[in-house]
Structure 1
Amino acid sequence: MSGIVVVGAGQAGATLVEKLRTGGHDGPLTLIGAEPHPPYQRPPLSKKYLLGEMAPERLFLRPLSFYAENDIALRTGTRVTGIDRQARQIHLAGGAPVPYDKLALCLGSRPRRLPPGLGGSLQGVYTVRDLADVDRMAPEFAAGRRALIVGGGYIGLEAAAVAAARGLKVTLIEMSDRILCRVAAAETARFFRDLHAGHGVDLREGVGLELLTGTDGRVTQARLTDGTALDVDFVVAGIGIEPETWLAEAAGLETENGIRVDAHGRTSDPDIYAAGDCTSFPYRDTRVRLESVPNAIDQAEVVARAMLGQPSGYVARPWFWSDQYDVKLQIAGLNTGYDRVVTRPGSRPGALSVWYFRGDRLLAVDAMNEPRAYMLGKRWIEAGVSPDPARIADPAADLKVMSAG
């Protein structure tokens, strides 16, 4: 019996093998990861780990002994080079093929990098995605150094927050007319713009990168599209991520902004499944791809049940978070298609919630240091309940009373 092989040892892959074992799979089970580490948490990398507040071992999702105790063959530092669907085996770099009865792809995503033509290949230019990325850049975060952050999404803003907290001189540029333009309303962007300005970040919107130049192969200066030149010690590119689909594409599987799967996580090959950042799946009347830990966990659990012959379709309940300085942002729902935004002052100074509606239907909420708004908003969205936008906007109206009603 060839058993089940899971390619990708991130949050989705680790969850999947655990749920397969606890769910009753007693055959061979192999988890293959390209990195030399056992599966670990990624969110703390750009926060507590980069700040030096978390040891590497605390990142691990499970102790190494867990895999041996549960008869899971964990193969780290192993790169998969191809899938032979007819022979039902995967090919490895420098190793013998691995056969499978069923295969799961939990490949995650990869960061977009600055092109070499812009100076992206210079030393001192970093992306933030995996443990090796953060270990390489960590020595740069010393007080007084000059950091340029390219990109005003959550990755860039989190990197800027860590750099500012460490006493660096930070400049963040966003080519669009405002930060968070693809993921949040102007009201949320304004909150974080003011937050970073209050911590000394030089935040420039509508300004892009024209060219990075350097000395002896290392970046020393950035020319911006507004004509200014900045002396820099290092650069962090937070310009988005892309689903890791090349392995699926090479095997002839269908892709659509990710590996295309059905509600059970099945790809266009019934013996191959996929979960996590690399997938696009049905959501309401469209297809989406979610880049979040909750999605990786929930979708992997659905795939495990399907592989065990207990299918239960995936009903996504999107939620996300970001930590910047002393602000915890919690997001419930997806704001795609919103046509109305309502803001509500927080229950304490500096807190705020931003509510997204399409017509009278609640789609999502951004809650900055406002956990009650987040919890109630998430509950309403998942239940398909929409509160009156006018009452949400009224700071005198009690959310708990609305919830009870």
Structure 2
Amino acid sequence: NDPRFKRFGLAPKTKADYAFLLHDLYHLKPDGIMAIVLPHGVLFRGDPESPDGEGKIRRNLIEGNNIDTIIGLPSNIFFGTGIPTIIMILKQKRSKTDVLFIDASKGFLKEGKNNVLRASDIKKITDTVNNRIEIEKYSRIVSREEIRANTYNLNIPRYVDSSPAAETWDIYASMFGGIPKSEIESLHNYWRALPNLKDVLFTDNDTPYVSIKTENIKQTINENEDIKKLAKKVKSSFKDFRDFLKIELIEKTDNVNLSQEETTISDDIFKRLKNIPLVDKYKAYQALDDEWQIISSDIEIIQSEGFESTKIVDPNMVMKKKDGKEVEIQEGWKGRIIPFELVRKTLLKKESDALELKERHKEEMASSLEEIIESLPEEEKE
């Protein structure tokens, strides 16, 4: 008679995952939304026709339109357990009857024994959920009718096939040469974006195989008009990007909102990439985030210590082994914000180039001297 479980069913004593879920759902406001991390087993364990248990709870959650999204995560992302997990997003009330399935299990970075979600992986998940979009081999919106036909089994691979295409070998091509047309056609995204490139690279005939027309593939690609047009399009799209960053990060340094600025810049990058094919916008986002860790730290220092902090140098502390132990020692100096290398390349370029020239000359002289010594008879060397 517990009101938390009366509507959906009672979770089994040995597996309390749905008990936690139903407790949270019961306390959710009518317009609320919740997300809960659960093991994969909750998606398929139990019989939906049984009077109680996980199958019945799952069926009632689907029929009640409470499950909004199911996100499959990589294994080994939590310390202490390697089991694969999911995030289930639920609402107390929703008008839609479908469920968004996302298989994000392939997007991660390996760090030691654990897998880590990168910023781009998280961004892709949140964009897919917020915009409720379908992406091939990644996400799919599934109707309640299809879920019913699968007897309320919510196992993600039933609805989203994220597995890579099986690798095939063409025995004829391996023995007699030629490239199977099927392999060429698998690159259809490139031929759609670069329609004339395929004919420039490959000869076509009535057989299932093609051969390469050119000896210098790289040169042929670089000289192709479609490639030049694409490069021009990218350059045109980002022609004022440097000015945009200067305004956002340099002219407004004191007023930069560090919690929002990365989103502002990434939104701008996504707009510029909108009509450019073949570029993975989430790889671009990851490149931004990698740099943003440094940029945001520098801006935070400037905001707290003032612009004078850009002129300050700090000891460059490194770890070295001494008497078999790791000790921290100073190894020169470094700029608190501006790297010495940047100063050298911009403000001291003339002097730096002259110094590099002398260093090269010094090395050449040392090498010549060594050659002269080596050419001498042994008695003269002594």
With normalisation by structure 1, the TM-score equals 0.22
Choose 1 or 2 for highest CA Rg: 2
With normalisation by structure 2, the TM-score equals 0.23
More helix as a share of residues: 2
More strand as a share of residues: 1
Q: Which has the higher contact order (CA 8 A, sep 6+)?
A: 1
